[in-house]
Chains A and B, each alone.
Chain A
Amino acid sequence: MPPVLDVEKLRKTFTCYTRTRDRVLEFLSGQSRHRSFTALDAISFSLASGQIMSIIGENGSGKSTLLKCIAQVLLPDSGTIKRHGKITGLLELGTGFIPNLSGRENIAFNGTFLQMSAQDIARREEAIIDFAELAPFIDEPLKSYSSGMTMRLAFAIAMHADPQCFLIDEALSVGDTGFQQKCFQKLSSFKANGGAILFVSHDMNAVKLLSDTVLLLAHGHMNYLGQPEEAINRYNALAASHGQSGSATSTGYGNGAISFTSVHITDPDGNPQSLIRSGAPLCIHFTYKSSQKVEHVTFGIMLRDRFGQDVFGTNGALLHTLKDVEGEGHGCFTFPAMNLGQGTYTINLAAHQGTTHLETCYHWWDRASSFEVLQDTNYIFSGHTRLEAHLDV
Chain B
Amino acid sequence: MSTLCQLFPLALALCRQDLKARYAGALLGSLWVLIWPLVQLFIYIVIFGKFMGARLTVVQDQAIASYGLYVAAGLLAWTCFANTLQRTSRFLLEKRQIISKVPVDLKVFPLSICLQELLPLGAGYLLLLSACLFFGQSPKLWLLLLSALALLAQQMLAMGLGLFFAVLAAFIHDTQEAVAVALQMAFWFTPIVYHPSILPSWVQTALNVNPMTHACQILQECFVFGGTVSPWALAYLGLCALLAMALGLLTLKAKESGVRDVI
Contacts and interface: CB of A to CB of B under 8 A. Distances in A.
Interface of A: 14-15, 20, 23-24, 71-77, 87, 91-92, 94-96, 98, 100-101, 105, 108-110, 112-114, 118, 141
B258 interface: yes
Interface residues of B, number: 25
Contacts of A114: 102
Contact of A73 (B17, B103, B171, B174): B103
A108 B21 contact: no
A95 B173 contact: no
18 contacts: A15-B258, A23-B171, A23-B172, A71-B103, A72-B103, A73-B99, A73-B100, A73-B102, A74-B261, A76-B257, A91-B101, A100-B21, A100-B24, A101-B17, A108-B13, A108-B17, A109-B13, A112-B10
B113 to A, nearest CB: 16
A356 B97 CA distance: 52
Given A24-B172, A74-B261, A113-B104, 16 more contacts: A20-B171, A23-B172, A75-B257, A87-B103, A91-B101, A95-B101, A96-B97, A96-B101, A100-B24, A101-B20, A101-B21, A109-B17, A112-B14, A112-B17, A113-B102, A141-B25
Nearest to B259: A75
Interface in B1-60: 10, 13-14, 17, 20-21, 24-25
A14 B172 contact: no
Contacts of B104: 113
Nearest to B257: A75
Nearest to A13: B261
B140 interface: no
7 pairs of A and B residues whose beta carbons are closest in the complex: A72-B103, A96-B101, A100-B24, A75-B257, A96-B98, A113-B102, A112-B13
B258 A113 contact: no
A20 B101 contact: no
Interface of B: 10, 13-14, 17, 20-21, 24-25, 97-104, 171-174, 256-258, 260-261
A228 to B, nearest CB: 29
A71 B256 CA distance: 15
B24 A101 contact: yes
Nearest to B260: A74
Contacts of A92: 101
A131 B28 CA distance: 33
Nearest to B98: A96
Contact of A113 (B25, B98, B171): B98
Contacts of A118: 13
B102 A110 contact: yes
B101 A105 contact: no
B258 A96 contact: no
B109 to A, nearest CB: 12
A14 B261 contact: yes
A72 B98 CA distance: 12
B17 to A, nearest CB: 5
Contacts of B260: 73-75
Nearest to B18: A98
A20 B20 CA distance: 35
A95 B102 contact: yes
A231 to B, nearest CB: 28
A113 B20 CA distance: 16
A322 B101 CA distance: 58
Contacts of A24: 172
B102 A20 contact: no
Contacts of B172: 20, 23-24
A85 to B, nearest CB: 13
Nearest to A39: B261
B261 A15 contact: yes
A72 B104 CA distance: 8
Nearest to B103: A72
Contact of B21 (A71, A75, A98, A112): A98
A322 to B, nearest CB: 58
Contacts of B256: 75
Nearest to A21: B172
B28 to A, nearest CB: 16
Contacts of B261: 14-15, 74
Query: Which of B13, B99, B261: most chain A CB closer than 10 A?
Result: B261
A73 B25 contact: no
Nearest to A70: B103
A24 B178 CA distance: 15
A321 B244 CA distance: 82
B153 to A, nearest CB: 29
- From A91, A112, A114, A118, residue with most partner B Cβ within 10 Å: A112
Contacts of B99: 73
